Structure 1
């Protein structure tokens, strides 16, 4: 890559990818900055909310901390802090997915605006200019899809499977948080599903794994009920006034 005629050392980061992937007419500070801002808008608050929801669920449900801590210790002891380790944290993956199923970020998913009349195979027509969306919150709490749907079951998505560090018995097509499934729409579905979901899930896993290994946590007053979130239109935010108490974990 050249800058003012000088060769620059190749780096492996977002800005470099954007510069290298941009056509010459858009390879300038203004366009690259706009792309970085757009990615920040899509990525930062979603990851933060997903992490916060998981922490609230952990703090309220102390019974999950021990099994999750044991899994993280076993996996990182065998594989270190690697991408492979993140893939083997199956209980943590299930816990995060269940937290997002019930808490989530939005009540509607996959919003699409029809630029022209569109008729489905069953004859239903969406007129041009109309916007349609999928009621993801309704799907995530549908009793025909999820048994006892309003009850938090942290290991719902790994029950009945060998989740040991070296186990290969895990169905990546249906159970993992990043898997595209019409019954779990946190990342949308189809060809326009979130392309950054793999990075985002590993990012949240790493954050939670570090916290679980190094800190004890609980809600004030030893509360066991997750603070209720705030709905703003179709978007859901964690309770911004709620607190979690942390202390450095004592080892040995």
Structure 2
């Protein structure tokens, strides 16, 4: 594993101008404290040291360290590298990956085809695989050998950014995978009720065009819908709770990315300067405590069932926490757990729908086919989970927008916990990361015709042609469609997320006309490293459907 900051020069090189100056200032202060005011026993000795003698000593020492790093890397030299692979010089490749990850991955795929290659990051090497065989081996690797969770903790520095007591405690994932998914049919009416209410509040339908900041507006709406399922009425419409839920999500992401620029030993010191999560958790605990206390009292008095028992995430988590450590049952721990679940839902769904909205506004000719499908199904079957499943064009539109853009150029990223060798002999050392990427999956011509073009009915046409209704649904995970991951670590909340997104798009189609301020000019996504987010300030025009 490549350690950031092993040598002072490496640490200074990576930080950027302002941070480097802080480091240099710290070094100068330390140097001055040693040399300017030496204690008497050392004073005469220090004055005898010649500056050039010290420099001559450092050169061979640095050479030895460089050689040791080089020898250590020989074990995995067989895997080709995009950019320099030598110690220290590889940071040049890491800088390029930070600023242009897409072209680095495309270059690797164009140069090496189906063969694995590696790219440098400031923290570790990323090994990139592309064949179905490699992806399947990645999927099947045991968790104690390769870990999706540990990779996510590394990427977003969750040990600091989430504010959780134990970031590896994920009993809520089982609740999402089972209880939430089983209740989607029951909750579909509540979800659509909140969809209508949230859109009416955030984007009132008027006869005149209204300019709306797309990303922030969709974030507010997704927050409303998600918290309706997570904590129910009336808290899901409480402005303070919605505000802190959104700020918590943004804080986790920004804090994680900022801390990623620093070596591990500095993160405990930098975190308090950039992280506001503690105050947000305090506010969440204050707002949730009355509900938690009332529910806990009913659970103690009535057991598993009582009149008007809530059917929401908070209740399911409280019931599941009974089997966990006492520390997981406190009001604060439950509040943090709800915020963490909200972070996962809000971060991904708001971006997904913003992408879809940009594509729809840039191509308003597609709104009529969507509208016709939705209105036909609703007139025949009414609003229900089953009705949503029949909306093939709505599903296809969302899936295609996510395929073409997505959240990350790197997909299925895992951290290697034990040295691992693929069946073709590719060796990946402990501590590094393995992933596949969009150029060799979502944008691959072998999988998709004209993969760089937006084809809204791509997947609905596949379902019609093949007769395989389930295979090409958005919730289904395959080796050529990986936004939700694959295998046992596929996103447990994807069924809820897709229902939410389809409900939103169906409502937009039957309620509004949409357009871009500059017709046909799709807002470019914003990119940081391998992460992709929708344009944060672009605006979309809405009006009541004509």
TM-score, normalized by the shorter chain, greater than 0.5: yes
Say yes or no: does 1:32 pair with 2:306.
no
Match of residue 123, structure 1, among 411, 425, 446: 425
Of 232-241 and 89-98, deviating more is 232-241
Any idea what the Cα deviations from partners look like across 1:76-126, whole Å, max 9, x if unmatched?
Answer: 111211100110100110111111111211111111111111222222222
Shift of 1:32: 1.4
| Corresponding position of 1:21 | 320
| Corresponding position of 2:405 | 103
| Corresponding position of 2:470 | 172
Shift of 1:161: 5.0
User: 2: CA distance between counterparts of 1:143 and 1:2?
Assistant: 55
Shift of 1:147: 0.7
Q: After the TM superposition, which parts of structure 1 deviate over 6 Å for at least 4 consecutive aligned residues? A: none
User: 2: CA distance between counterparts of 1:51 and 1:138?
Assistant: 24
| Corresponding position of 1:166 | none
What is the DSSP-based 3-state SS (H/G/I as helix, E as strand, rest coil) of the residue aligned with 2:461? coil
| Corresponding position of 2:499 | 202
Shift of 1:11: 1.7
Tell me: CA distance 1:48–1:160, structure 2 relative to 1, closer, same or farther (3 Å): closer
What is the DSSP-based 3-state SS (H/G/I as helix, E as strand, rest coil) of the residue aligned with 1:132? strand
User: 2: CA distance between counterparts of 1:128 and 1:75?
Assistant: 52
Match of residue 211, structure 1, among 487, 508, 530: 508
Shift of 1:137: 4.8
Q: Name the structure with the higher helix share.
A: 2
Shift of 1:170: 4.5
User: 2: CA distance between counterparts of 1:18 and 1:138?
Assistant: 38
User: 2: CA distance between counterparts of 1:171 and 1:226?
Assistant: 30
- Aligned counterparts, 1:43-82, within 5 A: 43-82=345-384
| Corresponding position of 1:3 | 297
User: 1: CA distance between counterparts of 2:488 and 2:463?
Assistant: 29
What is the CA RMSD across the aligned residues, in angstroms?
Answer: 1.9
User: 1: CA distance between counterparts of 2:468 and 2:381?
Assistant: 18
Tell me, yes or no, if the aligned pair for 1:110 and 1:134 is still in contact at 8 Å: yes
Tell me: CA distance 1:125–1:243, structure 2 relative to 1, closer, same or farther (3 Å): same
What is the DSSP-based 3-state SS (H/G/I as helix, E as strand, rest coil) of the residue aligned with 1:244? strand
User: 1: CA distance between counterparts of 2:446 and 2:542?
Assistant: 38
Larger Rg computed on CA atoms: 2
| Corresponding position of 1:190 | 487
| Corresponding position of 2:537 | 241
Tell me, yes or no, if the aligned pair for 2:353 and 2:501 is still in contact at 8 Å: yes
Any idea what the Cα deviations from partners look like across 1:41-97, whole Å, max 9, x if unmatched?
Answer: 211021001111101101111221111100000111112111001101001101111
Tell me, yes or no, if the aligned pair for 2:463 and 2:469 is still in contact at 8 Å: no
User: 2: CA distance between counterparts of 1:119 and 1:45?
Assistant: 34
Match of residue 135, structure 1, among 417, 427, 437: 437
User: 2: CA distance between counterparts of 1:137 and 1:204?
Assistant: 25
Tell me, yes or no, if the aligned pair for 1:136 and 1:184 is still in contact at 8 Å: no
Tell me, yes or no, if the aligned pair for 1:75 and 1:89 is still in contact at 8 Å: yes
| Corresponding position of 2:522 | 226
Shift of 1:225: 2.9
What is the DSSP-based 3-state SS (H/G/I as helix, E as strand, rest coil) of the residue aligned with 2:459? coil
What is the DSSP-based 3-state SS (H/G/I as helix, E as strand, rest coil) of the residue aligned with 1:176? coil
Q: TM-score, normalised by structure 2?
A: 0.43
Structure 1: runs of 5 or more not aligned: 164-168
Tell me, yes or no, if the aligned pair for 2:526 and 2:532 is still in contact at 8 Å: yes
User: 2: CA distance between counterparts of 1:35 and 1:71?
Assistant: 38
What is the DSSP-based 3-state SS (H/G/I as helix, E as strand, rest coil) of the residue aligned with 1:112? strand
